[in-house]
Structure 1
Amino acid sequence: MVPKPDKHNSSTEDEEIYGILDKPNIRHVQFGLNKRFATWYGSNVYFGRNKRTLGFKESNNEHTAKQSPTEKKFEDQYWIDTLYVCEYCFKYTDDEAELIAHECFCRYKNKPPGRIKYRSPEYTIRRVKGSKHEVFCQCLCLFTKLFLDNKSVYFKVKHFEFYIVYENNSTVPMAFFSKDLYSYHQNNLACILVFPPYQRRRLGTLLIEFSYTLSRCQGLISGPEVPLSPFGLIGYLKFWSFSIVWQLTEGNLKDVAQVTLKDLSEATGFRINDIIQALKYLDCLSDSEIRLNIIRSWARRNKVSHGFMIKDEYLLLDD
């Protein structure tokens, strides 16, 4: 979203703005009633001036000066042991009983926010506008900061859209990407996260594909906001490579004698710089020409002929 500040040069004021901490300060997240996992990064944005009190509780005068045994036990690093987060709306508390009570009546338990933009036999992707569901999107951004170290937008979400994937017949979010509606470079993705309980299910690939599908429908050559995180770059290199190889072995460029970078860009919807990165990743360039024997070998190993996850017949992009 906004550029990641330099940790080595950032001041205390910067840390107050961006929520940057050197290490995790929340030991665990309980996501819903039965999913519990460790955080990856720290964030002070959940907290008030007292670093042992969630901000909304401090503002409601619920804080007591006396530390709990749990707080004392983890005071060297962790500000609280467990953050309890609603798996439907991302509202949060440090009290398990409050989470249990909330989830019984959460407004999104039976119907998630937003409009359906894609529905396959397995997954549904909903578009949620920050301008319409502001609190939901703010809470989602706060949660995301615990797992992305370059996530910096929390409250100013009105000019963002969020595309959230659900398993069919479920109202629990599994992954999402956000998109800045006023991106100067017309980026098709600002940040992306697959929540820890749902990783290794190719949901990141699904969402990356969908972001390019949206760009294609708008007639745009586009790509993600940079710089990408190390994990994000790996995911994109794999997707860019797969798409380029598919175009060269199965798609519109299959029978083209000499393929240019412009040809690849028009066929894939990728920016030329991203295509160059992918070709280097594939290690298929020789004297500025693409070595098709390497491309074909890569295609066989990675089952490129099976095609993409996003299927046009399941798109619902009328508005």
Structure 2
Amino acid sequence: MVLPHQVLFYLKQSEHVAPERQYTEIIHSFDIQGCRLFFFFGSFLSWKRMAGSVGQSLTATTQRLKGKKNGGKGKNKSSKKARKEMLYGILNEKNIKQIQFGVSKRFPTWYGSAVYFDPETKRLGCSESKSQLCSNFNDQYWLDTLFVCEYCFKYTDNRARFVAHAAVCPFQYRAPGKIKYKSPEYTIRRVKGSKYQLFCQCLCLFTKLFLDNKSMYFKVDHYEFYIVYENGSAKPMGFFSKDLVSYQQNNLACVLTFPPYQRRGLGLLLIEFSYKLSQLEGVISGPEVPLSPFGLIGYLKYWSQILCWHLIEGDLAHCDKVSLEDLSIVTGMRVSDIILTLKHLNCIGENNQIYLQSLSTWLKSHRTKGNWFKLQDEYLLIDD
């Protein structure tokens, strides 16, 4: 016997539950354009000087990638694997000690990235750049401090160049992109990768230092970036990206709140905004998987509060029964994400019953002051 206060809903088994979503990481072959881009990035105030040496570096790197001998290691499988991983920024440990983000913010990196560096010398950009290498070349860190502009994400290893750029960066006066949301506190801008290519590429490179599974850096033309700013400021605080040609119709590729601005609820704001865009498009959607550990924590928190609110206080509060499709339509969540969240809340009993007491307990323990939702529809500026 099920007591009334123990269970509120009975989940009807769905015949249309999507199969388990799978994630396949596609590693593209290294091409001439990718090599050119790799050597283009580096000391951002040394573009012309670096461009003069790109030809030689490009030829040498292309030959090595074709498997030609290079000091007896050309055919070494482990060496080839290491080079392939470095091209996509995959490292097992951190290689940049800290970030100087703007004039006043300094913080350690979370993950390593080889994409910033020449793969042979471990120097920033091309081999001519004089990076701040540690005294011992074999030390963990390849670079002590990476200076990153907090407006445009261009970078250098030279403090003087960094200060010179900070004084003239055009994005400190006007942030890129078009405003899509503006509340009394925050503004969200849509920045198209096809229009602001260099800005988005530098943003992706910076993001890799804080997201372990980040693997897209340069091919940003079919991505949109939704960047959150504090009103009255042109300093980005966080963002999420969206793949415009996603076959799974994902509404988010990656999301990150930058370290100086964390614990403000900005991640939940961005996640909620991504679902609002999907709702306006009439699409049931969700994030690209697999999620990073921090991303999964953020999503479970958002999904939990949305499901709890709708089932206890929202549109479904007075229903006797509700199906997974009902929950999906009301919340905009995929069925697989709903099931994952209900299991996380430990509220599914026998015969697929959802126990109200478990949801109420979670709701009370996570209730915060103010509105349950961070996004307010009256501040949306969606016209295209």
Once the two structures are superposed, what CA deviation does each residue of 1:119-162 show, in whole Å capped at 9, x if it has no partner?
A: 11111000000000000000000000011110001100000000
Please identify, of 146-155 and 305-314, the stretch whose mean Cα deviation from structure 2 is larger. 305-314
CA distance in 1, matches of 2:263, 2:311: 27
| Cα pair distance change 1:20/1:274, threshold 3 Å | same
CA distance in 2, matches of 1:2, 1:295: 34
Counterpart residue number, 2:129: 63
> Is 1:41 equivalent to 2:107 in the alignment?
no
Q: What is the 5 A alignment of 1:35-184?
A: 35-55=105-125, 57-58=126-127, 62-63=128-129, 71-72=134-135, 75-184=138-247
Partners of 1:157 and 1:2 in 2: CA distance: 19
Letter of the 1:289 partner, please give it.
Answer: Q
Q: Does 1:239 align with 2:305?
A: no
Deviations 1:241-261 (Å, cap 9, x if unpaired)? 100011112211111111111
> Unaligned stretches of 5+ in structure 1?
none
CA distance in 1, matches of 2:159, 2:252: 34
User: Percent of counterpart pairs with the same letter?
Assistant: 59
Deviation at 1:229, TM superposition (A): 1.3
Q: Distance in 2 between matches of 1:35 and 1:75?
A: 28
Residues 38 and 76 of structure 1: CA distance in aligned 2, closer, same or farther (over 3 Å):
same
Cα distance in structure 2, aligned partners of 1:295 and 1:144: 35
How many residues matched? 309
Higher mean C-alpha deviation, range 76-85 or range 304-313: 304-313
How far apart are the structure 2 equivalents of 1:108 and 1:193?
Answer: 20
In structure 2, stretches of 5+ residues that fail to align are 1-22, 28-77
Picking from 293, 313, 316, the partner of 2:378 is 313
Per-residue deviation at 1:4? Answer: 7.8
Structure of larger gyration radius: 2
For residues 63 and 228 of structure 1, the distance between their equivalents in structure 2, rounded to whole angstroms, comes to 35
- Report matched runs for 1:196-235 at 5 Å: 196-235=259-298
Structure having greater relative contact order (Cα 8 Å, sep ≥ 6)? 2
1:3 alignment partner in structure 2: 25
Match of 1:290 in 2: 354
Deviating above 4 A after TM superposition, structure 1's stretches of 4 or more consecutive aligned residues are none
**SS at structure 1 position matched to 2:252:** coil
Distance between the aligned counterparts of 1:74 and 1:215, measured in 2? 49
SS class of match (1:71): coil
Once the two structures are superposed, the pairs formed by residues 242-261 of structure 1 within 5 Å of their partners are 242-261=305-324
Q: TM-score, normalised by structure 1?
A: 0.92
Say which SS state the counterpart of residue 98 (structure 2) adopts: strand
What SS does the corresponding residue of 2:322 show, helix, strand or coil? Answer: coil
Distance in 1 separating the partners of 2:324 and 2:157 = 53
Does the aligned pair in 2 maintain the 1:51–1:79 contact within 8 Å?
no
**Are positions 1:28 and 2:98 aligned together?**
yes
8 Å Cα contact 2:86-2:119 kept in structure 1 = no
Give the TM-score of the pair, scaled to structure 2.
Answer: 0.77
2:179 and 2:339 map into 1 onto residues whose CA distance is: 34
Letter in 2 for 1:225: E
- For the residue of structure 1 that corresponds to 2:147, the secondary structure is strand
